[in-house]
A and B are shown apart, each in its own frame.
Chain A
C-alpha cells in the first residue's frame, strides 16, 4: 500500500479556524500527522509593548473569544504581582465567579461542537440552547456576552448585587439539571459511545511526555489542575474535585468536561454563599515598578501562562502568552496516528483547539544565526507557490487567474 500525503486546511470545512495538517495516509488510515501554525498570527504580544497596562487588559482579553476572562485575569495577576498589589477578597471571589461561568460556557460550547463534528447535530442544538442561559448571565453581570471586561489592575470593575446573585443561583440550578441530562445522554446513548470510544487514543505516558494539559491531559489520567496545584485568587478556600478519566480517548475527554461542569456548579454555589463584603478595587499605580512575573491560570482548555516584564514605565517591556492549546497541539499529532481519516475532525476538536490564541510567528534567520531575513509580499507569494509545487500541488493556474482579477481592479 503506497502512502498518500494530503493536506487538511488551512481552509477546510472540518476546521473552524485556519490551521494546516499534513496527513500521510495508507488507504483510510492516518500513519503520520504533521501540522503548521501561523495562519492566524496577529502580533498581539508585540502590540502589548506599545500600549499601557490598562489598554493591554482589553487587548489581551481579545486574544481568544471563548477564554477571554482567562487571558485578562492571567495578565492582571502578573501585573499585580510585579506592583505588589493585594486585591480585596470580594474582587478575588468575583474573578473566580466569572472564571467559572466562563468555564461553563466554554465546555457547553465544546460539547455542542464535538457533537456536531460526529454528526449528532440534535445534541448541538440543545446544548447551545442551554448555553444561552449562562451567556445571558454573563451579559447581565458584565455588560457583554463575550468580552466581559471585568478585570482591572487591582480588582474588578463590576459588582454582584443580591438580585444578580439570586439570578445566577437560578440559572445554575437550571444548568445543573440540564447537565445531568447531558451526562445521561453521553453515558447511555449507544451511538455516541460507539462513535467516540477508542478514537484518538492518547496513553498516560504519551500525555505526560507530550505535555498534554487541562481536560485533554486529565482524560488520559494525568491528575493536574492549576486551581488545586497552585491556587490563585481564592481557589484555596473552595472545595472541588479534579475530574480525571481512564478512557484516554475522545469519549474520556467528553466525560471529563461534563464532570467538570458539575464541579463548576459546586464552586459557583460556594462563591455566592461566601461572597465577602468590601471594596472592589485597590488603588493601582499607572507606572508599574520594574520587575517580572509569571502567572498561571487554569483556563477551560488547560493551563494558561502569561509572563510580564516591566521596566518602570507605563508600558510593559515584554508580554508572553502561552495559550493552553499550544501545549495540547503536540499530542494531536500522536492522537491522529492509526485512526481513520474520517475521525480527524473530532480528534482535532477534542482538545478544544483555539488556534487564534496559539498562533506563533516564525522569524527566518540565516544559517549563521546572524541575519534575519524578511520577505517582501511578492517574494513571499512566489515562495509559497514554489513550496506547494515542490509538494506536488500546483497553484500556478489559479495564481494567473488571480492576477488577472487583480489587474481588473
Chain B
C-alpha cells in the first residue's frame, strides 16, 4: 500500500499532545540513581594510598598530605571525565559519585572542588592546617 503522507496520521494525533521535550531548566529532570556526576570525597576515610591518582585517565584528582594521616583531595572538574574508575579502585570507599551534573562555570578557577579534612584538634598542634569548608561553594547564579 504505497501512498503519500504516511506520517500524516501521526502528525495529526500529535497536535493535541504536549511537546516531548523537557522544559529544562524550569522542569527538573530526575536522574537515574547510578548517574555518574560530580565526585564526593570523605577525608576521614582516606589512607593516602593514591591508587585513584594512579588510575585516573585524565589526571583530574590530586591527593595532598596536609598532616599526620590527614589528606585533602583536589578534583579538577574540567579535567574529570566522570568515569568513576577512582571510585572502583578506592580500597576504603573514600570516594563516591553523586548525581550532581550542573557544573558549568564562567570562571575556570571555580572548576576545582577541594575536599579538606576538618580542622585538627588543638592537641595535635599541627600548624598550617586549612579549615576550608568541606566543599567549595560555587557562586550563585553564575
Of the candidate stretches B30-38, B39-47, B64-72, B118-126, the one touching chain A is B30-38
Which has the most chain B C-beta neighbours within 10 Å: A143, A147, A181, A193? A143
Q: Of all chain B residues, which has the CB nearest A120?
A: B7
Binary contact track A128-139/B, C-beta < 8 Å → 1, others 0: 010010001001
Q: Say whether A295 faces chain B, with CB atoms less than 8 Å apart.
A: no
Q: Are A143 and B97 in contact (CB under 8 A)?
A: yes
Q: Is A185 an interface residue (CB 8 A)?
A: yes
Q: Kindly state whether residue A51 has any CB partner on chain B within 8 Å.
A: yes
Structural contact, B6 and A143, CB atoms closer than 8 A:
no
Q: Does A82 make an interface contact (CB < 8 A)?
A: no
Q: How far, in angstroms, from A143 to B32 measured CA to CA in the complex?
A: 7
Residue of A55, A132, A144, A187 near B36 (CB, 8 A) is A144
Q: Cβ of B35 and Cβ of A147 under 8 Å apart?
A: no
Is B131 part of the contact surface with A, judged by Cβ < 8 Å?
A: no
CB < 8 Å neighbour of B1 from A52, A126, A144, A188: A188
Given contacts A123-B7, A149-B84, A152-B88, contact A55 B2 (CB under 8 A): no
A271-298 contacts to B (CB < 8 Å): none
B84 proximity list for chain A (CB < 8 A): 143, 149
Total chain A interface residues with beta-carbon distance under 8 A? 34
Bound Cα distance from A144 to B34, whole angstroms: 8
Give the chain A neighbours of B97 by CB distance below 8 A: 143
- Identify A126's interface contact among B10, B54, B82, CB under 8 A: B10
A51 to B31: give the CA distance in the assembly, Å. Answer: 32
What residues of chain B lie closer than 8 Å to A338, measured between beta carbons? none
Q: Which residues from A are CB-within-8-Å of B36?
A: 143-144, 149
Tell yes or no: A368 within 8 A of B by CB.
no
Interface of B is mostly: loop
* B7 pairs with A122, CB closer than 8 A: yes
Q: Is there a chain A Cβ closer than 8 Å to B55's Cβ?
A: yes
Chain B contacts with A in 54-109, Cβ cutoff 8 A: 54-57, 81-85, 88, 97
CB distance from B21 to the nearest CB of A (A): 9
How many residue pairs bridge A and B at CB < 8 Å? 70
Instruction: Give the residues in chain A near B88, CB-CB below 8 Å.
Output: 152, 157
Contacting residues, chain B, for A152 (C-beta < 8 A): 88
Q: Is A142 an interface residue when CB atoms closer than 8 A count as contact?
A: yes
Residue interface bits A145-186, CB-to-B below 8 A is 1, else 0: 001010010000110000000000000000000000100110
In the bound complex, do residue A59 and residue B4 qualify as a contact, i.e. CB atoms below 8 Å apart? no
A157 to B87: give the CA distance in the assembly, Å: 11
Q: Do residues A58 and B7 form an inter-chain contact, with CB atoms below 8 A?
A: no
Across the interface, name the chain A residue whose C-beta is closest to B55: A54
B127 at the interface (CB under 8 A from A): no
Q: Which residues of B contact A158 (CB under 8 A)?
A: 34
With a CB–CB cut-off of 8 A, which chain A residues contact B15?
none
Q: Give the chain A neighbours of B55 by CB distance below 8 A.
A: 52, 54-55
Contact A59 B57 (CB under 8 A): yes
Q: List, in ascending order, chain B residues with CB within 8 A of A405's CB.
A: none
Judge if B20 is at the interface, Cβ distance under 8 Å.
yes
Asked if A51 and B20 make an inter-chain contact with CB atoms under 8 angstroms apart, the answer reads no
Q: Does A189 contact B (CB under 8 A)?
A: yes
Q: Which residues of A are found within 8 Å of B2, using beta-carbon distances?
A: 187-190, 193
Q: Which residue of A lies closest to B21 (CB)?
A: A129
Q: Are A144 and B7 in contact (CB under 8 A)?
A: no
A149 CB, nearest partner CB in chain B, Å: 5
Q: How far is the CA of A290 from the CA of B106 in the complex (A)?
A: 47
Residues of A within 8 A of B35 (CB): 139, 143-144
**What residues of chain A lie closer than 8 Å to B6, measured between beta carbons?**
184-185, 188-189
* Cα(A147)–Cα(B83), bound, Å: 8
Binding site for B on A (CB under 8 A): 51-52, 54-56, 58-59, 62, 122-123, 126, 129, 132, 136, 139-144, 147, 149, 152, 157-158, 181, 184-185, 187-191, 193
Known contacts A52-B55, A58-B85, A143-B34; 19 additional CB pairs below 8 A are A54-B55, A54-B57, A55-B57, A56-B57, A58-B57, A58-B81, A59-B57, A126-B7, A140-B34, A141-B34, A143-B36, A143-B84, A158-B34, A185-B7, A187-B2, A188-B3, A188-B6, A189-B5, A191-B4
